[in-house]
Amino acid sequence: MLRISNIKIFEDISDEKIFLVALKKNKINPKDVINWHISKKSIDARKKDNVHYNYSIDIELKNEDKYKNLTKVKDFNFPKIEINATFNKRPVIIGAGPGGLFAAITLIQNGVKPIIIEQGQPVEERKQAVDNFLNNGNLNVFSNVQFGEGGAGTFSDGKLTTGINSPFCKKVLKTFVQFGAPKQILYIAKPHIGTDNLINIIKNMREYIIKNGGTFYFNTKAIDFKIENNKIKSIICQKVTDNFVINEIETDSIILAIGHSSRDTFTKLYEKGFLLERKNFSVGVRIEHLQEQINHSQYGTITKLHLPPAEYKLAYHSPTGRSCYTFCMCPGGVVMASSSEKNTIVTNGMSKFSRNGKNANSAVLVNVTPDDFEDNSPLAGIYFQKDLEEKAFILGGSNYYAPIQKVEDFIKNKKSISIGKIKPTYMPGVTLSNLNDILPSFVSDTLKEGILYFDKKLIGFANPDSLMTGLETRSSSPVRIIRDDKLESNIKGVYPCGEGAGYAGGIMSAAVDGIKCAIALIENY
């Protein structure tokens, strides 16, 4: 096919009319058209008096040679996987997040039938557990925003943007559409699914995997690993319901897609001789603004287009060497209670597909390095995170209420005593606090610098009434499970995968890593 690019649209019109604009601009005879589809749609809001959509269209023509000014489209062909061995024992995938699910689908599509172990519940039951925590403060430590089918990204904005440049990204998008995602994610510049769509999509993935020979064990936690001659032999599992019954699953190949919050599993892996290392991550807060304010700052007021809720992505580099940046911005969303351990407070952001909430929220984070940890243990980052989460729990009132503070008060280092125009969305509740009391000084100081800098880039970011909710500590894994060029750990047959293993950061990159680990498992078997 050929690609028509840089089609500027300044008003809301149908896709068909956009197509006709593209034909006219490039002097293409409509009779030459065999097929066409939109391949890219983005918003150009760099100039507030000239906000417009920018489209690209892929088109198949009868007389291609007549249109030499158009670019030929290179199609992506999924690599053929050579299966050189018969699987005597079924491979096991630990974790049913995006890494684990896409690994399972890739194995299934190549005739290999995996067993998937997930300590949390199926996504429908998991949503009930999450709702129970939000409404009543009853935390299920096995099934929550962090753990359960779909992984931590299920209760987020469902962003599919990524910094990686992998041909497998298109494969991930097409797979999501196959299982029920809106088709627009194939071409929109910043695709997202929304938590409401993700729940149904994940269920459809599970049903496909089961229909084609895969097996799920939910409410089942991997608690130990049997290793002989530096090779995996079996997994010891514990049913977290049914009186904690212990089972053993024999296998010689594991994809370890455990997620970034699996602290007890990291500890067990370290005990069993897996090579782990400390890595950088970030901590900070969630900040809330009125979505209307963000729209005004990003789009201005002149455009005739009915634009979607505006997004932003900001970064600041301090003279101290620290960085402050926004992460996982959720237009029209809510701040989520995301604890996975008793007596801790963890926050995240979530949006539905419509993004129609009154507030916008985003993480505002400061980088943390191993030099900030108290010891040299590979698990030191976990201890750093947990200490902050426990302090946030106490500051919030020791009842799973989150500590909150207005930006104006945070900058002045004084406890907030009232809420302004921006109302908190965090459930089960909030407590007016001074977040400076629990944040390390290098974090709070850099946050203040960053917020004031961001206000110059995005008018209103430092609005005195903007709300900060503490704390966000799980933006990425504090641990990396070391793997070689074949994606295998030092224990043969084990493939560390995704965000928890330290090789991804978000739904898209975790899904891509799941595909890569499944291919590696097949080719190395």
> Residue 109: which residues within 8 A CB-CB, separation 6 or more?
none
Query: Omega before 428 cis (within 30°)?
Result: yes
H helices of 179-335, where? 195-211, 263-271, 291-299
Q: Under a CB-based contact definition with an 8 Å cutoff, are residues 153 and 474 in contact?
A: no
Q: Look up residue 6 and give its two tokens.
A: 């840089």
Q: Are 323 and 366 in contact (CB under 8 A)?
A: yes
**Residue 84 banded pLDDT, cuts 50, 70, 90:** low
Q: Give the pLDDT confidence score for residue 63 in this predicted structure.
A: 82
pLDDT interval class at 392 (50, 70, 90): very high
- Note whether 335 and 469 are within 8 A (CB): yes
What is the pLDDT of the chain when averaged over all its residues? Answer: 95
* Mean pLDDT, rounded, for 32-50: 95
pTM of the full structure: 0.95
Cα 298 off chain centre by: 24
What DSSP letter does each residue of 501-512 carry, written as one string? TTS--SHHHHHH
Q: In what order do the strands lie in the sheet with 246-250?
A: 220-228, 231-239, 246-250
- One-letter amino acid at 464 equals P
Q: Please check the confidence at residue 497 and state whether its pLDDT lies above 90.
A: yes
CA nearest neighbour of 452 among 425, 412, 414: 412
Q: Which of 513, 153, 148 is nearest to 330 (CA)?
A: 153
**Strand partners of residue 9:** 53
Cα(197)–Cα(352) distance, integer angstroms: 8
Distance CA 214, CA 102 (A): 13
* Domains of the chain from N-terminus onward: 2-72 (3.30.70.2700), 92-277+478-524 (3.50.50.60), 280-472 (no CATH)
Taking a C-beta distance cutoff of 8 angstroms, is the pair 449, 154 a contact?
no
pLDDT tens, residue by residue, 461-476: 999 999 999 999 999 9
| The pLDDT of residue 75 | 73
The tens digit of pLDDT for each residue in 438-463 reads 999 999 999 999 999 999 999 999 99
The pLDDT value given to residue 79 = 67
Place of tokens 């104006």: 408
What's the residue count for the chain? 525
Q: How far is CA 181 from CA 73, 330, 349, 444, in A?
A: 24, 18, 20, 39
What is the tens place of the pLDDT at every residue in 176-223?
A: 999 999 999 999 999 999 999 999 999 999 999 999 999 999 999 999
Q: What is the mean pLDDT of residues 262-280?
A: 97
Per-residue model confidence (pLDDT) at position 260: 95
Give the confidence band of 83 by pLDDT, cuts at 50, 70, 90. low
pLDDT band at 91 (very low <50, low <70, confident <90, very high): very high
Tell whether the model's pLDDT for residue 77 goes beyond 80: no
Q: Is the peptide bond before 447 cis (omega within 30 degrees of 0)?
A: no
Closest CA to 258 of 525, 514, 524, 518: 514
Amino acid letter for position 136: N
Residue 464 Cα distances to 200, 455, 458, 519, angstroms: 39, 11, 14, 51
Please give the residue that has the higher pLDDT: either 478 or 79. 478
Copy the structure tokens of residue 436: 């400076």
- Judged against a pLDDT cut of 80, whether residue 78 lies above it is answered with no
